[in-house]
Amino acid sequence: MMRPPSGSGGLPPGGDPSQATQAIGMLGERAEALCKRLTDVEQALAVQEWWLLGRVLAEARLLAEVGSLLAVARGELETILSRYFGRGVPRSDITDQFATVEEMPDRAQDAAWVAASRDQAIGLLRMVAASLPPMLQYAQMLRSYAEQLGMPSEAVDALGIVVDRLNETGEAFRQPPV
């Protein structure tokens, strides 16, 4: 379990401002770790354009939705890291390796390729499902600590958006793909 970034969680009245600065810095490090994990998961999903397979595979539709939700959560974390923690987050163009849109319809008719894509999608869904609970718990704690440290409401709200998108990702897994 992650401990609050400072001894008591917040800065007591008359407390040392350097402790608050140090605690906020530690919170930034932890937010950066979550952002890295979200990026890693997103990159694992970026083996192909899952939304293009959505008509053929229900699992692909779910992966596309999950990828979109995770991208929003990562984007919020990148904004927080830049705006409130002064940390630059290198952006990567995850989609550069995708097949072109023109190639997909031909492959969608190939039963062996579709079966392999389904297996790949199921494996990726399992990986995300296993990764999601700890990421959600971590995001909830980051939000709570940001609030305790008296960070600006915009930062706390942005962390709330991260929590909401991760919750929505979990909800997407609870609904069977159709």
Within a domain: 25: yes
User: Is the CB of residue 128 less than 8 Å from the CB of residue 36?
Assistant: no
Is the distance from CB of 41 to CB of 73 less than 8 angstroms? no
Q: How many domains does the chain have?
A: 1
Pairwise CA distance, residues 49 & 12, whole Å: 50
pTM: 0.80
Could you tell me the residue range of the domain that residue 55 belongs to? 18-93+110-174
On the CB side of 8, CA atoms within 13 Å amount to 8
pLDDT digit string (tens) for the chain, length 178 residues: 444 444 444 444 455 667 878 888 899 999 999 999 999 999 988 877 787 777 788 888 899 999 999 999 999 999 999 999 988 776 655 544 444 444 555 666 788 988 998 899 999 999 999 999 999 999 999 999 999 999 999 999 999 999 999 999 999 999 866 5
